Amino acid sequence: MTVNTLNSYLLPKPLHCLRTLIVDDDEFMLDVVEETLRSFGIREIARASSGESALRAMGEGSPQPELLICDLNMENIDGIEFLRHLGERQSRAAVLVLSASDARILHSINALAGEHQLHFLGALKKPLEVAELHAMLLKLGQPEPEHSADWSKRLAAPELLSAAQLEEGLRAGHAQMAFQPIFSVRRRQIVSAECLLRWRDPQRGVLPPELVVLSAEEHELIVPLTELVLRQALGALSEWSKAVEGLSMAVNLSTKSLSRLDMPEALLQIARAAGIEPQRIVFEVSEAGFFSDPAASLEVVNRLALKGFKIAIDDFGIGHSNLQKLNSMPFSQLKVDKSFVHDAREQAVARALVESSVSLAHTLDMVVVAEGAETPADLDFVIRAGCDEIQGHAIARPMPAEAFIPWKEIWDAGRAAGSSSLLHPYEASQI
C-alpha cells in the first residue's frame, strides 16, 4: 500500500510532536500506519510488535506515549487485555483501536475503554482508511471527554459540595431550573417540559447537576433539594397554565428519594399547594434506583402512582432493563436514552434496540419519549421508529421558565403558518 503524502492530510502543527506508539503483531500494518502518520506530520513514532513489548517500552521512568494505536487480535496479550493494563497504569495517552474485528466488538470497545478511564478516540476497522484515521486524530485538538459512563465513580470526594455549602446554596438560591420542551408526534405540539437542575455557585461556577445530587445524597439533604426542585417546577407550570392549558411537567427523582417512605405524601402536598393535579406531573426514575433498596423503591413508586402521579423509567436500556421489571412496575412512560438515539445514526444494533423498546412499551400501553434528538436525522429516525414524544436540541434547548411561553408562541406561529419542519430558527437563551 502506498500512502498519499500530499499536504492535504497534514495535522495541525501542535500535533506533529505527539509521542506515538503503534502496537500490532503484523509488520506490514506497522509499516502502513507509521508511513501514514508521518504523512500527517507526526514525527516521534515508536513501534511494538506485541502487547508485552509495548508494556515494557512504557516501563517506569520511560517517556510515556501521548497517542497509542493498537490492534485487538494479537498473540498472548491481546488488545483487550492491553487496554486493561493501560487502565491499571492510569495511562493518559489517547487510545485508538485499529482492527479487523467484528463491528459489534469494535463498538463495545468504547464502553470498555470508558470503564478503564481511558481517553478513547475510537475504533477503526481494517484495512486502514487514511481519511478516517486523519479525522479521528483531529479529535486530539478538542477537549478531552469524560471517560466513564458512571459519573458517580468519577467524582472524587474533594469535589463534592459540603453539607454547609449545600445548605447555604439552598438558602441563597444557587439552585435554579431550566426547562426543555417535549414535543408530541401525534398531537404535533409541545405538550410538556422536563425540569433540569442548574446549580450556580459563586466561587465554582455552574456545577454539574449530578455532582449536586450526589452531594445531597451523601449529606442526607436530598429531600430538601427534591422538594425545592419540585416547588420551582410546579411554580413555573402554574404560571404557564395562565396562558396555555394542559401542559405537564417531568421531574427527576434521585435514587435516595425512592427509599424515603414519606416522599409520596410530601410530593403530593407540594402539588396541592401549587394547584397542580398529580396527573400533570411525571416523575422520572432511573433503573439503578430500584437496586439500592428494592422493597422501599417498589412501595414509593406504587404509592406515587396510586396518588395519580405518572412514573417514567428514565435512561431505559443502559441499566438493568428487563421485561419483568417493566411488567411489574406502574410505569406510564419509557424514556429511550439519548446514547441510543445518537448511535442509531450509524449503528444497526442501536437502531434495533430503539425499535424493539418502542414495540415493547406500546404493547404495555406506555408512552415512549426519545431523549437527545439533536439533528434532522435524529428526528426522522425516532418518528419512523414510532416514538410518541421527542425531546432534544432539535426541538429546543433548555431555557428559563420565563422564556418558555414566548418560545412556544413563536413555535406555534411557525406551525400555524404551515411549516412542515419540526426545527425552528428561534432558540431561547441557553442556561
Which residue segments constitute the domains of the chain, with CATH numbers given? 7-141 (3.40.50.2300), 151-331+395-416 (3.20.20.450)
pLDDT higher than 80, residue 276:
yes
CA distances from 396 to 157, 244, 344, 401 (A): 34, 18, 20, 13
pLDDT of residue 146: 43
pLDDT of residue 3: 47
Letter string b/e over residues 379-388, b meaning 16 or more CB atoms within 10 A of that residue's CB: bebbeebbbb
Q: Could you tell me what percent of the chain has a pLDDT over 90? A: 51
pLDDT of residue 291: 57
Cβ distance 180 to 398 under 8 Å?
A: yes
Please tell me the chain's helix, strand, coil percentages from 3-state DSSP, rounded to the nearest 5. 45, 20, 35
Of residues 141, 123, 143, the one with CA closest to residue 41: 141
For the chain, state the CA radius of gyration. Answer: 25
Query: Residue range 364-392: average pLDDT?
Result: 92
Query: Residue range 39-51: average pLDDT?
Result: 94
Query: 209-245 pLDDT, tens per residue?
Result: 888 998 999 999 999 999 999 999 999 999 999 999 9
Contacts of 205 (CB under 8 A, 6+ apart): none
Query: 131-167 pLDDT, tens per residue?
Result: 889 988 987 865 444 443 343 444 343 478 999 999 9
Contacts of 203 (CB under 8 A, 6+ apart): none
Whole-number Å distance between alpha carbons of 124 and 420: 38
Query: 80-118 pLDDT, tens per residue?
Result: 899 999 999 999 999 999 988 877 677 778 778 888 889
pLDDT mean across residues, the chain: 85
Cell of 411: 413555535
Query: Residue range 2-31: average pLDDT?
Result: 81
